[in-house]
Amino acid sequence: MSKQLMKGCEAVAEAAVRAGCRFFAGYPITPQNEIPEYMSSRLPEVGGTFVQGESEIASINMVYGASATGTRAMTSSSSPGISLKTEGISYLAGALLPAVIVNVSRGGPGLGSIQPAQSDYLQATKAPGHGGFHTLVFAPSTLQEAVDLTYEAFDYAERDRCPVMILMDGCLGSIMESVSLPAMKDPAEFEETKWAVGYNGQSRPTRIITSIYPELVLENNNKARVETYARWAKEDAKAEELLLDDAQYVVVAYGIAARVAKQAVLALRAKGIKIGMIRPITLYPFPKQSFAKLNSANVKAIIDIEMTIPAQMEEDIALATHCAIPIHSYGRSGGNLLDDDGVRQAIEKIVGGEA
């Protein structure tokens, strides 16, 4: 498959189209504007529909409506825009409707900064909306991975009838890299979505899609979600593991931060420091299996590298290691980017203090 040089947001949009997405609704906000811009011209070429909603709230509810018809639907936004969409994401989860949500995150809280950041980890993994539900959350670190995960996200969403989130940041959204694009899927060949309000114009029993249920039905739905989340944790958690066999120090980072952290790990290994790395690819479910392999008698410290202050992933690391290994953190915030020297020096300082 030939490679193409593409910008991050545009590569994600093209991957969605090739995955069979035929409806997009969104509202402009930096740094994800290239996704709706790309979709506005690309979707009509494949018989799809693009809508620029009058707001983020309108857009997520349009996605709800499109998904209810069995159409593969997507929206994108950035940080405060995702906050506005959270009620609609809750309604998607409550109505058991699939959708893909892309968050190209920026600094916060509040209006924050339009510069790249990783400040939305807690929102994505703990509270994507009211009601205590979860979404699958994927965190790519390269544009190729962003393409692949977006392409797969629609299948995950339909498999489990749930929203799926792609959490990336303004760096990944803005950089250009070569990517291999996947094959174009034909929506006409998808399995009939017999849960939708209509399919193929065939006669069928009346269906009602709703997120309000009698109490026992709602409780049973939530019990079913628990089983789904357990299956995710067992079958769908993903992580990259690097140089862990003899590691005395383990760096944990995701997304763009992991790219910087990986260079620091390799540089410190070359200096004789026994250091390894875990890169979560799924933020929910958190890849606890990778942490279960760590020997607390051998690993002196875990170093959490994030582009946010305070570190937001640290609590999940602590839970995954049963608080058996000391955890340190280093990050930048407010749209200030991590750099190779800063990350390497911060790790060296932590290693020096632990030695």
User: Coil, strand or helix: which one is 343?
Assistant: helix
- Predicted local distance difference test score (pLDDT) of residue 353: 81
Exposure string of 267-297, with b = 16+ CB inside 10 Å and e = fewer, is bbbeeebbbbbbbbbbbbbbbbebbeebeee
| Strand 239-242, strand 275-280: pairing | antiparallel
Cα torsion 302, 304, 305, 309: sign: negative
Tokens of 304: 């959490």
| Nearest C-alpha neighbor of 8 from the set 28, 35, 42 | 35
Taking the C-alpha atoms of residue 180 and residue 6, their distance in angstroms, rounded to an integer, is 10
- Predicted local distance difference test score (pLDDT) of residue 200: 53
- Predicted local distance difference test score (pLDDT) of residue 197: 83
Cα 5 to chain center, whole Å? 23
Domains of the chain: 3-236 (3.40.50.970), 239-354 (3.40.50.920)
Taking the C-alpha atoms of residue 309 and residue 103, their distance in angstroms, rounded to an integer, is 19
Taking the C-alpha atoms of residue 39 and residue 9, their distance in angstroms, rounded to an integer, is 10
| Strand 249-252, strand 275-280: pairing | parallel
- Taking the CB of residue 123, how many other CB atoms lie within 10 A of it? 22
> Can you give 197-249 as a three-state secondary structure string?
CCCCCCCCCCCCCCCCCCHHHHHHHHHHHHHHHHHHHHHHCCEEEECCCCCCE
- Predicted local distance difference test score (pLDDT) of residue 201: 57
pLDDT tens per residue, range 294-310: 999 999 999 999 999 99
Cα torsion 91, 96, 99, 100: sign: positive
The residue assigned the tokens 């979709």 is 39
Tokens of 115: 């510069």
- Predicted local distance difference test score (pLDDT) of residue 188: 85
Q: What are phi and psi for residue 111, nearest 5 degrees?
A: -65, -30
Q: Which long-range contacts (CB under 8 A, 24 or more apart) does 83-86 make?
A: 83/123, 84/55, 84/56, 84/57, 84/60, 85/56, 85/57, 85/59, 85/60, 86/123, 86/127, 86/128, 86/129, 86/130
User: Coil, strand or helix: which one is 91?
Assistant: helix
pLDDT tens per residue, range 110-162: 999 999 999 999 999 999 999 999 999 999 999 999 999 999 999 999 999 99
119 by Cβ neighbours in 10 Å (0-12 / 13-18 / 19+) ranks as: buried
| Nearest C-alpha neighbor of 237 from the set 276, 170, 293 | 293
Taking the C-alpha atoms of residue 54 and residue 18, their distance in angstroms, rounded to an integer, is 27
Q: Which residues in the chain show pLDDT less than 70?
A: 1, 198-206, 354-355
- Predicted local distance difference test score (pLDDT) of residue 207: 77
